[in-house]
């Protein structure tokens, strides 16, 4: 079936009314392919019938959001970037006597948050707080459990695995030394108000699904949520082409720094 534009719009409105998620801000091609796949799965003949099926059960909307989310992730994803994080970014970000305040935005199963926690605990021990947020409840449940498969763990350095994870049957469970820094919660990047004062925001492999306008708005909101000197870490295919317009500086690809107050004064005086 091929819904027309009006039918898609009506469906998006219903989703927004029920879940708050604004599908107008996602790129249509991939989004619609996924939704049509779900229609087939539910044997629904059209979007109206699909919506009626979802509305029949209390967890229909949650099922829809979980299915919609592509939450492929793994610990130490793009390992070379985590080496840069450890050697070049964190030593500058961590301030004496203060814990790091970090956010994994679109955290999925919590792999990125656990990766950062393990690096901090092994190399920069302190009272760090890392919050992970996502729209996908099932992925968040896994993040909270701290349980990972061999495949999720394949890039984790051996010494980190041995020190901070315990084998439980076929899974690896994160130890409290790293989970004590972590907190996971439901959050929609397109509509929530953001906390402020972050030293580090990680948003990787999330905006690929968003329209260009939604992406631009989000990066500007991340800029506002960082403290001066804070860093935004994005995915390895997600270079921010208008980063200078937003106000970011970048020396290492995919890490964007909000200039510290002194730097801004220097720039505006020159």
Ligand X SMILES: C[S@@+](CC[C@H](N)C(=O)[O-])C[C@H]1O[C@@H](n2cnc3c(N)ncnc32)[C@H](O)[C@@H]1O
Q: Which residues are at the interface with ligand X (CB under 6 A)?
A: 69-73, 77, 106-108, 111-112, 134-136, 139, 187-190, 204-206, 235
Q: Is 78 left (phi over 0), alpha (psi -120 to 50) or beta?
A: left
Q: Which is nearer to ligand X, 38 or 70 (CB)?
A: 70
Are 112 and 73 a contacting pair, CB within 8 Å?
yes
Q: How far apart are the first and last CA of the chain?
A: 60
Q: Which two tokens stand for residue 112?
A: 């990125």
**Scanning the structure block, which residue is given the tokens 């990066």?**
219
Q: Which is nearer to ligand X, 72 or 166 (CB)?
A: 72
Rounded distance between C-alpha atoms, residue 104 and residue 211, angstroms: 20
Name the residue number minimizing CB distance to ligand X. 69
Nearest distance from C-beta of residue 24 to ligand X, angstroms: 12
Q: Which is nearer to ligand X, 194 or 263 (CB)?
A: 194
Nearest distance from C-beta of residue 69 to ligand X, angstroms: 3
Are 26 and 69 a contacting pair, CB within 8 Å?
no
Q: Which is nearer to ligand X, 90 or 113 (CB)?
A: 113
Nearest distance from C-beta of residue 207 to ligand X, angstroms: 9
Nearest distance from C-beta of residue 139 to ligand X, angstroms: 5
Nearest distance from C-beta of residue 238 to ligand X, angstroms: 10
Q: Which is nearer to ligand X, 16 or 173 (CB)?
A: 16
Rounded distance between C-alpha atoms, residue 66 and residue 2, angstroms: 23
């Amino acid at each position: 079936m091929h819904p027309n534009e009006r039918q898609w719009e009506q469906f998006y409105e219903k989703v927004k009314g029920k879940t708050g998620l604004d599908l107008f801000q996602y790129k249509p091609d991939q989004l619609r392919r996924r939704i049509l796949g779900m229609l087939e799965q539910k044997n629904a003949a059209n979007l109206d019938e699909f919506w009626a099926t979802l509305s029949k059960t209390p967890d229909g909307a949650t099922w829809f959001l979980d299915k919609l989310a592509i939450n492929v992730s793994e610990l130490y994803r793009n390992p070379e970037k985590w080496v840069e994080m450890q050697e070049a970014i964190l030593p500058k970000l961590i301030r004496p006597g203060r814990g790091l305040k970090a956010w994994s935005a679109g955290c999925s199963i919590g792999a990125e948050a656990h990766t950062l926690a393990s690096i901090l605990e092994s190399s920069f021990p302190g009272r760090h707080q890392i919050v992970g947020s996502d729209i996908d409840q099932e992925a968040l449940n896994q993040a909270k459990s701290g349980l990972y498969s061999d495949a999720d763990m394949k890039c984790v350095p051996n010494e980190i695995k041995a020190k901070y994870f315990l084998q439980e049957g076929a899974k690896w469970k994160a130890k409290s030394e790293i989970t004590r820094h972590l907190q996971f919660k439901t959050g929609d990047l397109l509509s929530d108000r953001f906390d402020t004062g972050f030293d580090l925001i990680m948003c990787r492999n999330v905006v690929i699904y968003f329209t260009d306008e939604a992406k631009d708005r989000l990066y500007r909101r991340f800029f506002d949520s960082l403290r001066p000197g804070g860093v935004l870490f994005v995915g390895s295919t997600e270079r921010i082409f208008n980063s200078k317009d937003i106000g970011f500086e970048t020396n290492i690809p995919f890490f964007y720094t909000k200039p510290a107050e002194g730097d801004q004064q220097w720039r505006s005086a020159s």
